[in-house]
Amino acid sequence: MKDLIVLDNVSKDYPGDGVITKALDSVNLSIEKGVFTAVIGPSGSGKSTLLSLIGALDKPTSGKIYFEREVITNLNNRKLANFRFEKIGFIFQQFHLLPTLTALENVMCPLFTRKVDYHKKERAMELLDEMGLKDKQNALPSQLSGGQQQRVAIARALVHHPDWILADEPTGNLDSESSKIVFDLLKRLNKEQGLGIILITHDPDLAKQTDRIIEIKDGTVISDTMQRDSKIVGL
Ligand SMILES: Nc1ncnc2c1ncn2[C@@H]1O[C@H](COP(=O)(O)OP(=O)(O)OP(=O)(O)O)[C@@H](O)[C@H]1O
């Protein structure tokens, strides 16, 4: 189970005005850290729901999720928050940067209430440098381009040393050049630094460049294609 996320018969219902939306319906999946994985599918098919369950932002209605060795579906809220801090970085289509904080402060944000054994500011600076944004540390989000804002958001997602990055349409608001930079960054994090990456995308060209494409429709997996050999991680 090391380096593996397993969904065992996972369903998610959203109750509404007398109607229940079945966002996910008995999904079984096993996702390996070394395999750069794309999730595709039409709008409303359940992709974001899948990511929010894997990232423990929400709980399934039924079924179990094993995150590496741990069943996360039973954890209480405090344990879930710690689990997310230790394991997961999130990136979203809307960058969700805090507008009144500088790039550096935004990157440091997840560490504000945490005790860590590394120097917070140095760690944030190191990541901004890695993202090619060293000279933008004091800029506010409004003074940055979309691509630069997303790179700040990626630095923020990485600042607490997560093992996995869950990315929901991270290039959806970017032009093709910025989109390529962000995608290549994610690929490098997977191939060179060994982070697990699950990427939701509507862009078929980007999906084609990943190792595996999981296609979702109406809350179920309708295809699952391994596109190229990857390092196979042991169970
Ligand atoms: N909090 C919620 N309450 C009620 N229904 C919801 C909620 N979140 C999602 N849904 C419904 O669940 C279904 C799946 O939504 P989800 O956001 O997972 O789809 P998606 O594939 O990510 O769509 P998109 O590509 O448009 O982002 C949709 O029918 C949606 O309307």
Residue 2 confidence class, pLDDT cut points 50, 70, 90: confident
**Can you give the pTM of this predicted structure?**
0.94
Distance 58 CA to ligand 1 centre (A): 13
Let me know if residue 235 belongs to a domain: no
Q: Look up residue 39 and give its DSSP letter.
A: E
Let me know if residue 233 belongs to a domain: no
How many distinct structural domains can be found in the chain? 1
Residue 230 confidence class, pLDDT cut points 50, 70, 90: low
Strand partners, 44: none
Let me know if residue 159 belongs to a domain: yes
ipTM above 0.85, yes or no: yes
Q: What is the mean pLDDT of residues 127-148?
A: 96
Return the structure tokens found at 146.
């979309």
Residue 74 confidence class, pLDDT cut points 50, 70, 90: confident
218 or 68: which carries more pLDDT confidence? 218
Closest residue by CA, ligand 1 atom 30: 44
Digit-coded pLDDT (tens) for 17-57: 889 999 999 999 999 999 999 999 999 999 999 999 999 99
143: number of CA atoms within 13 Å, CB side?
A: 11
Let me know if residue 129 belongs to a domain: yes
The yes-or-no verdict on residue 232 having pLDDT over 90 is no
Distance 210 CA to ligand 1 centre (A): 24
Distance 21 CA to ligand 1 centre (A): 9
Closest residue by CA, ligand 1 atom 5: 14
**What pLDDT does 16 receive?**
86
| CATH number reported for the structural domain that contains residue 127 in this entry | 3.40.50.300
195: number of CA atoms within 13 Å, CB side?
A: 26
Let me know if residue 178 belongs to a domain: yes
Let me know if residue 232 belongs to a domain: no
**What pLDDT does 234 receive?**
38
**What pLDDT does 235 receive?**
35
Let me know if residue 207 belongs to a domain: yes
Contact partners, residue 86, CB within 8 Å, separation at least 6: 160, 162, 163
Mean pLDDT in the chain? 94
Q: Which domain holds residue 91?
A: 4-226
Could you give the strand order of the β-sheet that contains 196-200, starting from the edge strand earlier in sequence? 88-92, 164-168, 196-200, 37-40, 212-217, 220-226
Q: How far apart are CA 90 and CA 165, in angstroms?
A: 6
Ligand 1 pocket, residues with Cβ under 6 angstroms: 14, 16, 21, 23, 41, 43-49
CA distances to 32, 147, 191, 212 from 217, rounded to whole Å, are: 22, 29, 29, 17
Ligand 1, pocket-test mutation among 14, 39, 51, 57, most atoms within 8 A of CB: 14
Closest residue by CA, ligand 1 atom 12: 23
Return the structure tokens found at 94.
């809307």
Residue 20 CB neighbour total at 10 angstroms: 10
Per-residue HEC secondary structure of 152-200 comes to: HHHHHHHCCCCCEEEEECCCCCCCHHHHHHHHHHHHHHHHCCCCEEEEE
Let me know if residue 31 belongs to a domain: yes
Q: Look up residue 33 and give its DSSP letter.
A: T
The yes-or-no verdict on residue 233 having pLDDT over 70 is no
Digit-coded pLDDT (tens) for 156-194: 999 999 999 999 999 999 999 999 999 999 999 999 999
